Chains A and B, each alone.
Chain A
Amino acid sequence: AQSVTQLDSQVPVFEEAPVELRCNYSSSVSVYLFWYVQYPNQGLQLLLKYLSGSTLVKGINGFEAEFNKSQTSFHLRKPSVHISDTAEYFCAVSGGSSNTGKLIFGQGTTLQVKP
């Protein structure tokens, strides 16, 4: 069975500092990986996705993530955060032997950007 672990429940960071949100997944087969952002009282918005090819994936709002198959990780990074990046971030996986497209989400990481 597939699973996703987000290693930090909260990440406080000062504005303009770099940030990394960590995500590890468990799967015995090839998977697709995603990062979503959720602003208060809103639905989820896709930041970026890894389907195949280059292991460094660039997304919207200056975010990027690196797929590491040997470490089964897909960490999200941004070199300089803004106050507006304060939100909940979810890592998700889909695929596997019974690929129906459903997403399995991690528990979420709250990014708190301080002025």
Chain B
Amino acid sequence: EAGVAQSPRYKIIEKRQSVAFWCNPISGHATLYWYQQILGQGPKLLIQFQNNGVVDDSQLPKDRFSAERLKGVDSTLKIQPAKLEDSAVYLCASSITSYNEQFFGPGTRLTVL
């Protein structure tokens, strides 16, 4: 069974530029999560989707971050414009439902210069 796929694996941009990350969850998983992991910290939930609807985006900085999950499968997370403090690993996870085990992708490491 294929795992959660993410791309790109690494991205370096300058501040004020835009960037987008892509996530393909495990087939059949209805719930998709985006976490932000700053160096030296545990992951923090940014947004949670159930199919293509948003369940929780309370910690998403909506002035610069946006996310969508069209057709309830793939998802993209965008940052526009990026700030230095956005440097982090962005992890995507999926689960069959929100009450099942979450499976994590390898993450995208973003460096903002």
Contact = CB atoms under 8 A, between A and B. Distances in A.
A100 B98 CA distance: 6
A60 to B, nearest CB: 12
Interface of A: 4, 36, 41-46, 49, 90, 92, 99-108
B56 interface: yes
B44 A105 contact: yes
Contacts of B43: 44, 90, 103, 105
Interface of B: 4, 31, 33, 35, 40-45, 48, 55-56, 91, 93, 95, 97-102, 104-107, 109
A44 B31 contact: no
Contacts of A45: 104
Nearest to B101: A46
A44 B48 CA distance: 17
